[in-house]
Amino acid sequence: MSLIENRREQIFPVLDAKQIETARRFTDSAPRMFGAGEPIFNVGDRHAPVWLILKGDIEITRRDGLNRDAPIVSVGAGQFTGEMSELSGRGTLASGHAGPEGCTALPFKAQQIRALIIGSAELGETLMRAFILRRVGLLQESGAGSVLIGQPGTADLSRLQNFLSRNGYPCSVLDVAVDQEARELVERTGVQPEELPVMVCPNGTVLKRPTDAEAGMCLGITPELDAGKLHDVVVVGAGPAGLAAAVYAASEGLSVMVLDHRSYGGQAGASARIENYLGFPTGISGAALAGRAYSQAQKFGAEVAIPLEVKYLDCGGPARRPNDPLRLELADGRSIHGRTVVVASGARYRRPNIPNVNEFEGAGVSYWATAVEAKLCEGEEVALIGGGNSAGQAVVFLAPKVKHIHLGVRRGLETTMSRYLVDRIAVLPNVSVHTGVEVVALEGDQTGVLCNATFRGLDSGKFWTYPLRHLFLFIGADPNGDWLAKRVAVDNKGFVITGRDFAPTDVPIDRAPLPLETSVAGVFAIGDVRAGSTKRVGASIGEGAAVVAQIHAALAN
């Protein structure tokens, strides 16, 4: 059974008269009447309201980029429209029109539906569960969202698939070499081979080899920014630490903007399964944990802007007073202003010292193992280099899907990996552990996809080349702090230093720096980017919660 069939009562609940009366208190709008078949909202509409149906019904349909429509459901009196997109004012993923007898419905703007969710615990639980499950249903059902056309396994197509999947947006992929409909669209639009992949948005817009930012704008993922707004808190990074800070700050009434140049969840969002996080004895995927945190941040009104890259932190220099705004310059030239800034940009995957490794990123070389990569290497032999917990989780995730995994480590697994992962890998029949090896060279075929990898024995010094089309690298991470441009104090590895008696501070203040505060007053650092932090999901979330109390102290001072 599909998710909708299995959990229909939770996905499309019917409110009783008392619940409808409670909901009415959270909107100042009057009910609207729609004639039979009249359009109410369309795919891609931003700031589409949530409609509570009082009479008649609204027929909901989904549409993909090839203009193929399919019915989802008809919602009637006492039911409501919308999913997570409406909660945050993003581009909606479905269309709605009045049923054959018309309808009367009450609109709720995004801020009103958030007020209802928070103001009424019972209704809030019903609405949030329905919104989340509706998005999950759209992701699981084919025929919604964008259509990607290209050659599976190529770098740009893999990048777009990861961008959409990690941001919770549905898409389907057509192989231009075998799918007749895909070939016809490419020929009809005059797309050249070097312009692939093509992304066809649900509104019909065709993007040729788009960047993540272009895809985000077309789909309504990226919000419209108010350049004149001063936020209480601007969080840079939407990983576990940044999302935790957003949830706690927004729930306490602070205005919060979260920026991330890729997706919510950070490195943790790409983890196949996290089994040692408190409260989840059977484990939880990084994507599920990140998705819940992202939904929670939106529930409390935090704005999350993806994909937007921060280029520079302008601290104002010595002339800035402690309560003067901080400015974040974005890569597209726009600026965001905040009374405080939380640096939660995490760490980026470390590249091996191989000159041409960047040529194969997304074309055989991966730094994470998600469902996208698992499908590409299904039934094949793969190699994975790394001995930490992320590497162990990836091995356990990939093993049931691939023919064989060659796991290369510098030292024994016991020195760097949690015991439960070591024990689990030991009993996997299709995993071979090679100790004391490293990758030193990569070769590609005529299409630019990885075909050979050369390894070296650290003790023997011997080299050998192995035919390989998929190589996963989990060899550690470096702080993602280049955008700070030496504005705050860092240690010799580039991690941001906090809570010390900096001399001199960039902005003189008449107090000691707070424990998570950097050398610049009002700028805090949490999570993996912070020097001395424990590189664990639980620790990052804890720091995200702890920093909010210190933000209050800084603002009060």
pLDDT of residue 506: 54
Domain presence at residue 109: yes
pLDDT of residue 291: 93
Same domain, 8 and 121: yes
- Evaluate whether 361 touches 155 at the Cβ level (below 8 Å): yes
Average pLDDT per 10 consecutive residues for the chain, totaling 557 residues? 82 96 96 97 92 97 77 95 91 93 97 96 96 90 82 90 92 90 88 92 89 92 88 97 98 97 90 87 91 95 95 81 86 94 93 90 91 92 94 95 95 89 96 94 91 94 94 92 88 92 62 90 95 92 97 90
User: Which domain covers residue 107, as residue numbers?
Assistant: 3-139
- Among the candidates 473, 491, 523, a domain finishes at 473
Same domain, 528 and 386: no
Domain presence at residue 531: yes
Residues 6 or more apart in contact with residue 11 via CB below 8 angstroms: 3, 4, 130, 133, 134, 137
CA dist., res. 253 & res. 300, Å (int): 9
What total number of domains does the chain contain? 4
Nearest Cα to 544, choosing from 237, 246, 280, 234? Answer: 246
Same domain, 117 and 157: no
pLDDT of residue 267: 86
Same domain, 31 and 7: yes
Domain presence at residue 224: no
Domain presence at residue 250: yes
- Among the candidates 139, 156, 191, a domain finishes at 139
CA dist., res. 460 & res. 138, Å (int): 53
Same domain, 405 and 434: yes
Same domain, 483 and 460: no
pLDDT of residue 1: 62
Same domain, 292 and 433: no
Domain presence at residue 546: yes
Same domain, 343 and 483: yes
Same domain, 52 and 86: yes
Domain presence at residue 269: yes
Same domain, 447 and 419: yes
Domain harbouring 57, CATH code: 2.60.120.10
Counting DSSP H helices and E strands in the chain, the numbers are 15, 26
Domain harbouring 177, CATH code: 3.40.30.10
pLDDT of residue 3: 79
Domain presence at residue 223: no
Same domain, 325 and 395: no
pLDDT of residue 401: 96
- Among the candidates 431, 446, 473, a domain finishes at 473
Domain harbouring 431, CATH code: 3.50.50.60
pLDDT of residue 316: 77
Same domain, 463 and 484: no
Domain presence at residue 304: yes
pLDDT of residue 442: 96
- Residue found by looking up tokens 């959270």 in the block: 26
